[in-house]
Amino acid sequence: MLKAMKSGVFREIADAEKKRNKYVKSFELYSMLDSLVRRGEHVIVTGDQYGTTLISRDFSRKGRCDFYLSREGYMPAMSCMIGQKDSPLVPIMTKRIALINQAGLYEHWIKAYMPNSTSCTHPPTRIAVNTSFSVHNVWGMYVVLFGGHAISLLVLGLELVSVTLHQRMTS
């Protein structure tokens, strides 16, 4: 789909294939979770249903949420039924499929098929970090603190020099 686009964001993504994107077959994605994504160097862009399947399988295996789906989607998930042109079955089946979706049966079947499908759907709104404080963990705060002190001392010195020069010039 990305390669078929003529312009826009999806075309730019397709053009980045030579530099940054790596297209893999769907059966290779689960092995990519451990080899690339878990290290934090890559992300997987796939359909919502397949992403949910990958994450729920990993949660079932590991017992913890190492991955989350993004809150935003990049294109609608498409499912369809193909029927012969002008077939009287197509409108009937379309109505039945719409009723199944509206009743929530599709989501119910997904949850029954993948029991952990909603365990790691989206990241929590607050993430607690349970690490002890050390200089390595908070070095940025020290840089800001001591950098601010250095700059304030420099400004104070410049003010004293400018006041002294101003007093000598006026007297």
Query: Taking the domains of the chain in order of start, what are their residue ranges?
Result: 131-171
Q: Between 28 and 156, name the one with better pLDDT.
A: 156
- Residue-wise pLDDT for 107-135, tens only, equals 788 777 777 666 777 666 676 777 777 77
Q: Which residues contact 48 (CB under 8 A, 6 or more apart)?
A: 69, 73, 77
Q: Between 118 and 137, name the one with better pLDDT.
A: 137
pLDDT at 159 over 90: yes
CA-to-CA distance for 148 and 151, rounded, in angstroms?
A: 5
With contact defined as beta carbons under 8 Å apart, do 65 and 77 qualify? no
Per-residue burial over 32-49, b if 16 or more Cβ lie within 10 Å, else e, is: ebeeebeeeeeebeebee
CA-to-CA distance for 130 and 25, rounded, in angstroms?
A: 37
pLDDT, mean of residues 42-70? 79
- Residue-wise pLDDT for 85-99, tens only, equals 888 988 898 898 888
Q: Between 104 and 75, name the one with better pLDDT.
A: 104
